Amino acid sequence: METINLTKLASIIAAYKNCVQANSKEWQEKHKDYIDSECEKLPSGSGIDSGTQLILEDCTPEKLVFTLDFHNMNENGYYDGWTSFKLIVTPSFSGYNLKITGKDRNQVKDYLYDLFYSLFSIGNEVNQFTHF
């Protein structure tokens, strides 16, 4: 499974936003291409049937924001609605923090935390993370 380096992604997002402000079209496009290629690694399927999206305008060098909808199933195995979530990733002294907002229907947040912990890295260091 490919991972997404959060440190690099946050840096490229900051560079992209700087290029937008400076009206540097060439580098703006290069940075956007990198961001888009990393976002192709975001989960889609296995309940996250409409994919995971990066909310670029809400991102800062200290915060990455994603949205996703989870397709819930009932006890009989039939789909019975959607739950919307926002995933907020922030740095910490020991790695990164994840916060998932939204209703925790059928304890799906545990699954989502595990999924995103395995997707994200912070470089060559050992992944250290917390959630709140």
* Beta-ladder partners of 54: 66
Q: Is the pLDDT of residue 14 over 50?
A: yes
Task: Summarize the chain as % helix, strand, coil (round to 5).
Answer: 40, 35, 30
What confidence score (pLDDT) does residue 126 get? 44
The Cα 32–Cα 100 span in angstroms is 25
Distances (CA, A) of 12 to 17, 59, 60: 9, 11, 10
Query: pLDDT tens, 67-93?
Result: 999 999 988 989 999 999 999 999 998
Is residue 130 scored above 70 in pLDDT? no
At 104 the three-state DSSP class reads coil
| pLDDT, tens only, 29-63 | 999 999 999 999 999 999 999 999 999 999 998 99
